[in-house]
């Protein structure tokens, strides 16, 4: 059985057989999840019956057979895919734009700054952009990395998480409007992540384009360099990651500090697993799917709004759009030490553990005089701080800490943090800290007490400090348990259960000799690891990162492909060829570096039909809700007698707005009604297409090609007819043969069942394929044209580019010919594809222009590079039919 169909099975099992009444959050944000023995038995039987326990030889046999048919497609036009890079001996990694998307606190951001510096340095020399919250701009830029704001306020997020430590909010938070505010913030960050992957600048400062009178070489080169991500690194809370990677067709590599991939080794870090089954390992596995269900239920509408209105992608259906990361086998690197948590045996090769990411100590940091005096005045103090956590009652927390210090008699450094701890009654053996780097401070301490954030925990253990963890929410209890299991500290005590006496007892245990010895032992192992270097190597060694080089300039990443060939060109390489008249710009298309097949459709026809009816009903409800809100606004506007000026005229209010709202409601309901038979037929067809894989474990089911419009819909329909009937008939013979070769007599029986089942399902899919897929393509084209009509171009940018194209030279310096400038302008104004991708194409065109402009600032180097590119192009012997649009 394929990994996709197995993931779908576990998804359904998680829905059907987990006790929803038991899946309620505790005070620390972890969920008490109960999994029945029946569910475990189903999963175990499914694993066994579908080949997860087969020998390596049998599994490889099935895989080889499936690969022969899985990606087969019809050749519609003459193609030539045997061109080879003229510099095929290049072994390095091409320089590329890497966007690192991070949502979280400073402790979440800091490890990725260390990674970003590694990727920017030799031997990689990538352009790295840290995309995170605006509050971290200074922190990122002072480390020499590019910053882009995705919006969001982590301080408010941390305050919300303390009040609502679980996935489900409290009633008080709902009444206070916290949920709506956080949802709005998530929506803002989704759009912010897309902007971070496609826009120039930093997302905060306004970019002023020069006017025609001031246009010169200096003004052009002073503009921010264009940025379009060639690869994305992300942590899971940046929910936009997989959707942006799908839209841009670029590699995606996930990195995180807590387990996020299903495993039998341990349960999800946010769960308190309660299983009545004897096989707890499989219960551990199911806990990940259950948590994914819980966390995604409140976000699917935001994600689909982002996909539809920002990315112009199809919405995901909750019935089968779940667990994208394991389904697609997105590469995952966990940045913790294997000394604490070894890699589970059931994680595939696409999941790796690198070691902790540490940011180098800032040698420039100098403590103030008061802190220096305190450290020198006595024995090493105990550090107590809770970082980004915002507590509701700072005074109460401060008093508790001071009392615990008094009981133990130790000296203490207490960090004020975002919780604003402190007060007037601080004793002499306590020093209140401001913002001091942990890697500088912890070596001066005897032990550390903190909230259990992964970054703070990693630094403390790496420096050999016994660690006391007081978890508030999230994965913090998990790390507390890991530290205790490793013997580097006592068992964690939840913040809401904490008292001065309990904290004093924990500190006393942490200072015991055996705990200090164990912490130093772990420190020796961890400090020998090279986390960031190892992670960078894992990032570049992933399968998705291969063959990304430009054919002509291998040290640069390819962004274009010559149509009907496999020739890949970088922005600079394409610009030189276009400028020299070697290729027509219309013969180039954006290179799909990696295709993410997100929307595979319903698992079977019944689910397809039910999902269509459900999504249509939700659509009607959404239209009604919008009408109600619009009518409410119209009434308040009419009461307040507001007037809106549009293009210098007063817009009609009152009844005019009501009529407009009713018209929008009618159009929305009418559109969804017209689309219902199209979606119904499409989802039922997908259901028949996918049913053999989902229900029978048929690994020969082909992956349907993407449908983006009329042309691709017709193509997919014809392919479904041809391959559907072909596979249906041949499967009756080949499935029993392959089954017998793999499992003997039992495999033969299974093969007969798969052959007969495939004969029915694949034949029906073939019969329905052409009308359903062609109608779906037509609907997408109409929808795309409707959406594009709403797009308003940046008139200031258009005017600037038009003026640029009319000049004979930039600033009279003859940097580019008028022809080259007009070519760059025509690239920027290219109008194919949907509205979103047209804007991306414009920015790629501007990237072409800027890179050539920058190269020609050094005439000697430019002449050499252009000569080499032209010579290498000639050596490819590309037929003229691929270079001319005529």
Burial class of 664 by CB neighbour count within 10 A (0 to 12, 13 to 18, 19+)? middle
Weakest mean pLDDT among 287-296, 706-715, 767-776: 287-296
End-to-end alpha-carbon separation of the chain, Å?
48
Residues of the chain with CATH 3.40.50.2000: 369-528
Residue with the larger pLDDT of the pair 811 and 447: 447
**pLDDT for position 320:** 67
**pLDDT for position 454:** 83
| Residue tagged 């690194």 (tokens) | 233
Is the pLDDT score of 278 beyond 60? no
pLDDT per residue as tens digits for the range 566-585 = 999 999 999 999 888 899 88
- Give CA–CA dist 401/779, Å, rounded: 63
**pLDDT for position 89:** 72
Weakest mean pLDDT among 20-24, 356-360, 571-575: 20-24
DSSP collapsed to 3 states, 642-698: CCCEECCEECCCCHHHHHHHHHHHHHHHHHHHHHHHHHHHHHHHHHHHHHHHHHHCC
**pLDDT for position 212:** 53
Kind of pairing, strands 560-562 and 588-590?
Answer: antiparallel
Mean pLDDT within 288-295: 78
- Give CA–CA dist 532/335, Å, rounded: 8
- Of the segments 85-89, 205-209, 720-724, 851-855, which one has the largest average pLDDT value? 720-724
pLDDT per residue as tens digits for the range 378-422 = 899 999 988 666 566 777 888 889 899 999 999 999 987 644 555
Strands (DSSP E) along 191-312, which ranges? 231-234, 252-256, 271-275
**pLDDT for position 722:** 92
> 842, 834, 839: which is closest to 787 by C-alpha?
834
- Give CA–CA dist 709/834, Å, rounded: 10
**pLDDT for position 317:** 76
Residue 67's contacts (CB-CB under 8 Å, 6 or more residues apart) are: none
What's the distance, CA 782 to chain centroid?
29
Quote the percentage of the chain above a pLDDT of 90: 38
**pLDDT for position 64:** 44
Strands (DSSP E) along 430-520, which ranges? 430-433, 447-450, 467-469
Cβ-contact 243, 307 below 8 angstroms: yes
Count of C-beta atoms within a 10 Å radius of residue 296: 18
Mean pLDDT within 97-109: 91
Burial class of 576 by CB neighbour count within 10 A (0 to 12, 13 to 18, 19+)? buried
Burial class of 567 by CB neighbour count within 10 A (0 to 12, 13 to 18, 19+)? buried
Mean pLDDT within 273-286: 72
**pLDDT for position 57:** 43
φ/ψ region of 534 (left if φ > 0, alpha if ψ in -120 to 50, else beta) reads alpha
The residues with which 129 forms a beta bridge, in sequence order, are 99, 146
Is the pLDDT score of 644 beyond 70? no
DSSP collapsed to 3 states, 767-817: HHHHHHHHHHHHHHHHHHHHHHHCCCCCHHHHHHHHHHHHCCCCCCCCCCC
The residues with which 561 forms a beta bridge, in sequence order, are 568, 589
Weakest mean pLDDT among 17-31, 417-431, 712-726: 17-31
**pLDDT for position 366:** 84
Please confirm whether the linkage preceding 123 is cis (ω < 30° from 0). Answer: yes
| Residue tagged 């904490």 (tokens) | 498
pLDDT per residue as tens digits for the range 462-499 = 999 999 999 887 788 888 988 998 899 999 998 888 89
The residues with which 448 forms a beta bridge, in sequence order, are 383, 467
Q: What is the number of helices (H) and of strands (E) in the chain?
A: 29, 20
Query: Which DSSP symbol is given to 80?
Result: B
- Give CA–CA dist 245/239, Å, rounded: 11
Is the pLDDT score of 797 beyond 50? no
Mean pLDDT within 271-296: 75
Residue with the larger pLDDT of the pair 174 and 402: 402
pLDDT band at 502; cut points 50, 70, 90? very high
- Give CA–CA dist 276/200, Å, rounded: 55
Is the pLDDT score of 547 beyond 50? yes
Residue with the larger pLDDT of the pair 14 and 283: 283
Weakest mean pLDDT among 223-237, 664-678, 779-793: 779-793
- Give CA–CA dist 482/476, Å, rounded: 10
**pLDDT for position 31:** 55
pLDDT band at 132; cut points 50, 70, 90? very high
Count of C-beta atoms within a 10 Å radius of residue 766: 23
Cβ-contact 237, 104 below 8 angstroms: yes
- Give CA–CA dist 386/466, Å, rounded: 16
* Axis crossing angle, helix 571-579 with helix 835-855, rounded to the nearest 10: 80
Cβ-contact 773, 689 below 8 angstroms: no
pLDDT band at 614; cut points 50, 70, 90? confident
Is 864 in a helix, a strand, or coil?
helix
Cβ-contact 349, 637 below 8 angstroms: no
**pLDDT for position 843:** 79
DSSP collapsed to 3 states, 108-153: HHHHHHHHHHHHHCCCCCCEEEEEECHHHHHHHHCCCCEEEECCCC
Cβ-contact 773, 681 below 8 angstroms: no
pLDDT per residue as tens digits for the range 850-871 = 888 889 889 999 999 999 999 9
pLDDT per residue as tens digits for the range 308-346 = 888 888 888 766 666 788 888 999 999 999 988 889 999
| Residue-wise burial string across 108-130, b where 16 or more C-beta atoms lie within 10 A, e elsewhere | bbbbbbbbbbbbbeeebebbbbb
Mean pLDDT within 262-267: 87
Is the pLDDT score of 45 beyond 60? no
Mean pLDDT within 689-697: 88
pTM of the prediction? 0.81
Name the architecture of domain 369-528.
3-Layer(aba) Sandwich (3.40)
Residue 712's contacts (CB-CB under 8 Å, 6 or more residues apart) are: 705, 706, 777
Mean pLDDT within 728-757: 91
**pLDDT for position 143:** 93
Q: Where are the alpha helices (DSSP H) in 314-362?
A: 324-328
pLDDT per residue as tens digits for the range 816-843 = 444 444 434 433 433 334 567 777 877 7
**pLDDT for position 527:** 85
């Amino acid at each position: 059985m394929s990994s996709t169909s197995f993931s779908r099975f576990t998804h359904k099992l998680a829905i059907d057989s987990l006790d929803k009444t038991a899946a309620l959050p505790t005070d620390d944000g972890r969920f008490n999840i109960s999994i029945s023995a029946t569910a475990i038995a189903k999963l175990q039987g499914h694993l066994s019956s579908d080949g997860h326990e087969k020998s390596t030889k049998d599994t490889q046999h099935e895989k080889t057979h499936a690969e022969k048919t899985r990606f087969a497609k019809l050749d519609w036009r003459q193609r030539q895919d045997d061109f080879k890079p003229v510099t095929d001996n290049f072994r390095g990694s091409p320089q590329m734009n890497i966007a690192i998307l991070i949502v979280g606190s400073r402790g979440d951001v800091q490890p990725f700054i260390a990674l970003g510096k590694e990727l920017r340095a030799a031997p990689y020399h990538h352009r790295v952009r840290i995309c995170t919250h605006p509050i971290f701009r200074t922190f990122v830029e002072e480390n020499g990395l590019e910053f882009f704001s995705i919006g969001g306020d982590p301080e408010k997020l941390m305050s919300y998480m303390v009040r609502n430590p679980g996935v489900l909010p409290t009633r008080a938070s709902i009444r206070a409007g916290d949920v709506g505010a956080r949802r709005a913030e998530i929506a803002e960050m989704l759009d912010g992540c897309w902007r971070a992957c496609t826009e120039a600048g930093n997302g905060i400062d306004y970019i002023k384009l020069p006017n025609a009178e001031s246009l010169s070489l200096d003004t052009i080169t002073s503009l921010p360099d264009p940025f379009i991500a060639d690869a994305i690194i992300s942590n899971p809370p940046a929910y936009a990651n997989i959707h942006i990677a799908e839209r841009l067709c670029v590699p995606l590599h996930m990195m995180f500090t807590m387990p996020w991939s299903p495993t039998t080794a341990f349960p999800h870090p946010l769960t308190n697993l309660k299983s009545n089954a004897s096989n707890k390992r499989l219960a551990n596995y199911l806990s990940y799917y259950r948590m994914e269900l819980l966390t995604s239920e409140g976000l699917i509408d935001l994600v689909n709004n982002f996909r539809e209105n920002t990315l112009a992608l199809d919405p995901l259906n909750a019935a089968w759009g779940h667990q994208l990361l394991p389904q697609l086998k997105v590469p995952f690197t966990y940045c913790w030490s294997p000394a604490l948590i070894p890699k589970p045996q059931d994680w595939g090769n696409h999941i790796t553990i690198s070691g902790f990411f540490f940011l180098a100590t800032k040698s420039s940091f100098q403590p103030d005089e008061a802190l220096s005096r305190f450290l020198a005045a006595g024995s090493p103090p105990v550090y107590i701080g809770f970082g980004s956590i915002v507590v509701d009652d700072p005074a109460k927390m401060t008093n508790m800490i001071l009392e615990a210090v008094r009981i133990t008699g130790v000296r203490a450094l207490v960090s004020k943090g975002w919780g604003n701890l402190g007060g007037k009654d601080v004793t002499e053996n306590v020093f209140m800290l401001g913002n001091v780097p942990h890697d500088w401070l912890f070596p001066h301490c005897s032990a550390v007490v903190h909230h259990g954030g992964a970054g703070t925990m990693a630094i403390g253990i790496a420096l050999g400090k016994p660690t006391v963890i007081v978890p508030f929410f999230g994965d913090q209890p998990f790390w507390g348990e890991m530290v205790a299991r490793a013997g580097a500290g006592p068992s964690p005590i939840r913040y809401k259960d904490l008292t001065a006496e309990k904290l004093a007892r924990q500190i006393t245990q942490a200072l015991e000799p055996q705990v200090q010895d164990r912490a130093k032992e772990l420190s020796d192992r961890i400090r020998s690891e090279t986390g960031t270097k190892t992670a960078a190597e894992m990032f570049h060694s992933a399968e998705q990162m291969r063959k990304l080089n430009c054919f002509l300039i291998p040290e640069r990443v390819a962004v274009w492909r010559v149509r009907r060939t496999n020739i890949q060109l970088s922005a600079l390489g394409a610009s030189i060829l276009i400028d020299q008249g070697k290729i027509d710009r219309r013969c180039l298309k954006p290179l799909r570096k990696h295709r993410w097949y997100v929307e595979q459709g319903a698992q079977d026809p019944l689910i397809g039909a039910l999902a269509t009816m459900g999504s249509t009903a939700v659509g009607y409800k959404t239209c009604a809700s919008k009408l109600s809100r619009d009518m409410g606004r119209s009434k308040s506007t009419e009461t307040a007698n507001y007037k809106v000026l549009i293009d210098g005229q007063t817009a009609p209010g009152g009844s005019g707005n009501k009529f407009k709202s009713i018209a929008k409601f009618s159009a929305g309901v009418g559109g969804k009604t017209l689309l219902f038979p199209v979606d119904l037929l499409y989802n039922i067809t997908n259901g028949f297409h996918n049913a053999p894989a989902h229900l029978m474990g048929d690994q020969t089911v082909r992956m349907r090609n993407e449908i983006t419009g009329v042309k691709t819909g017709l193509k997919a329909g014809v392919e479904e007819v041809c391959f559907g009937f072909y596979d249906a008939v041949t499967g009756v013979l080949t499935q029993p043969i392959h089954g017998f070769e793999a499992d003997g007599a039992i495999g033969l029986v299974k093969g007969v069942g798969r052959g007969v089942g495939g004969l029915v399902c694949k034949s029906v899919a073939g019969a329905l394929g052409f009308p359903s897929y062609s109608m779906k393509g037509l609907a997408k084209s109409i929808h795309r044209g409707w959406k594009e009509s709403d797009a308003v171009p940046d008139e200031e940018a258009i005017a600037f580019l038009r003026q640029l194209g009319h000049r004979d030279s930039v600033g009279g310096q003859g940097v580019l010919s008028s022809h080259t400038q007009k070519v760059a302008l025509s690239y920027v104004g290219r109008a194919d594809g949907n509205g979103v991708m047209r804007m991306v194409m414009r920015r790629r065109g501007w990237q072409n222009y800027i890179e050539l402009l920058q190269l020609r600032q050094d005439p000697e180097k430019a002449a050499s590079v252009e000569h080499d590119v032209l010579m290498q192009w000639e050596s490819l012997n590309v037929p003229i039919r691929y270079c001319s649009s005529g």
